[in-house]
Amino acid sequence: MDGTIERIQLMQKITNLCLDITNVSKENGSLENKLFKTQKNVNATMFAAGVRDARGVLDWVERAQHINSKAHGNGWRRVLRNQKELRKCLVKAVPLWVPADVGADDKSLPGILGAKIAELYGSLEPRVHVFSLFSPGFGLVIREGVPDAATSSALRCIANEFGVPWEDQEELGDRFHGLSLLHRALLLQ
């Protein structure tokens, strides 16, 4: 009889654990839904403010971070001094931006990375990494490897750090691959 009681108690514990897992799953689903709605709102707000491509995203971040558009490098250096996670992401994702003799905690690192972001800003072509309100593509659509892997990686780091919704789009040789008709029309303008 003792074995039966133990099995019943064990089954009750398993049932309770299953119920707990179900509740956690529902909560996670609810949080994911809230996150998606928040990202949609951020996306719509940025689009309404005129953000249409990666350069527009950087302009948006620079305004939010009070970076003087005439002194990109210095402004980004200031931001990078305080944004440890962004520094870590850039060092890991774009190692060629960091000279071999500069360590991850080197005081010169924010200046070096800030100058690279300023160069990145100047090199971005309009409408290449588009900012989309609707699918396909939601938020900043990062075209992998365009014009190079460093650009794609740096854009991901910046978008993640500042809450900019983004999606990857693999470059498959066709400059219009995966783009909506609206995006194709914009590229041809």
Token pair, residue 152, equals: 């794609």
Cβ-based neighbour number of residue 65 at 10 Å: 14
DSSP assignment letter at 140: E
Q: Look at the chain and report how many structural domains it folds into.
A: 1
Check whether the bond before 95 is cis (ω within 30° of 0).
no
Residue 5 lies in a domain: no
Each of the 189 residues of the chain gets a pLDDT tens digit; together they read 567 777 677 667 776 666 667 666 666 667 777 777 777 788 888 888 888 999 999 998 998 888 876 676 788 999 999 999 999 999 999 999 999 888 777 889 999 999 999 999 888 988 788 888 775 557 899 988 888 999 999 999 999 999 898 888 865 444 444 444 454 445 444
Number of H-type helices and E-type strands within the chain: 7, 3
Determine if the pTM surpasses 0.85. Answer: no
pLDDT of residue 23: 65
**Does 143 fall in a domain?**
yes
* In a domain? residue 21: no
User: Is residue 157 included in any domain, yes or no?
Assistant: yes
pLDDT score for 91: 94
Strands 166-169 and 139-143: parallel
In this predicted structure, what is the pLDDT of residue 81?
92
Residue 83, phi-psi category: left (phi > 0), alpha (psi -120 to 50), beta (remainder): beta
3-state secondary structure of 98: coil
Residue 85 located in a structural domain: yes
Residue 162 forms part of a structural domain = yes
pLDDT given for residue 22 in this prediction: 67
Edge-first strand order for the sheet with 131-132 is: 131-132, 139-143, 166-169
Does residue 84 belong to any structural domain of this protein?
A: yes
Q: Is 53 strand, coil or helix?
A: strand
Q: What is the pLDDT of residue 57?
A: 92
Provide the pLDDT for residue 66: 87
Sequence-separated (6 or more) residues with CB below 8 Å from residue 61? 67, 158, 162, 164
Per the structure, the complete domain to which residue 171 belongs is given by 40-188
| Residues 83/161, Cβ–Cβ less than 8 Å | yes
How much is the pLDDT for 167? 87
| Closest to 136 (Cα-Cα) out of 92, 171, 183 | 183
Find where tokens 């003087």 sit. Answer: 68
